[in-house]
Amino acid sequence: MTYGLENSVLTEKTKDKISVRHIFRCCWQESVRPLQYNCRTLPMLHLVNQTKVLFWKKMYTNSNVVLYTLSRYAGVPSRFMAVASQYGIHSLRQTVGTVKFAVWKFFTETVLI
């Protein structure tokens, strides 16, 4: 379901449509965040953002000259660091585990159990 989302541009309306509530057409009255937390599953928006950051991290740190050049041309530092910085990620040179932990930590801070 998330295949190719790292290259997409999502509007605010589209971001709302990929939530658990819209996909399963349920849970309109209650929060699903505690369920997602207990199942160790990120909300779709955070999952998409994590995937984008990891994709562009691979492009930006790749030793392939073509991919390296494309990542600089696409404006990685400005466009995608805006997404990464909301999770406290200030460099694309961080490890994959650090990126995933930062996104998970951001999500867990918003969960009321």
Q: Considering its fold, how many domains does the chain have in total?
A: 1
Rounded Cα distance, 55 and 51, in Å: 6
Decide if pLDDT at 97 tops 90.
yes
Nearest to 8 by CA among 56, 61, 65: 56
60 is a domain residue:
yes
106 is a domain residue:
yes
94 is a domain residue:
yes
Rounded Cα distance, 113 and 57, in Å: 33
Decide if pLDDT at 93 tops 90.
no
96 is a domain residue:
yes
Question: Highest mean pLDDT: which of 5-9, 31-35, 85-89?
Answer: 85-89
List the structure tokens of 3: 């295949």
Q: Which domain holds residue 57?
A: 33-113
90 is a domain residue:
yes
The answer to pTM > 0.85 is no
14 is a domain residue:
no
Token pair 């000259």: residue: 65
22 is a domain residue:
no
66 is a domain residue:
yes
Higher pLDDT, 108 or 67: 108
Decide if pLDDT at 25 tops 70.
no
Quote the pLDDT of residue 105: 93
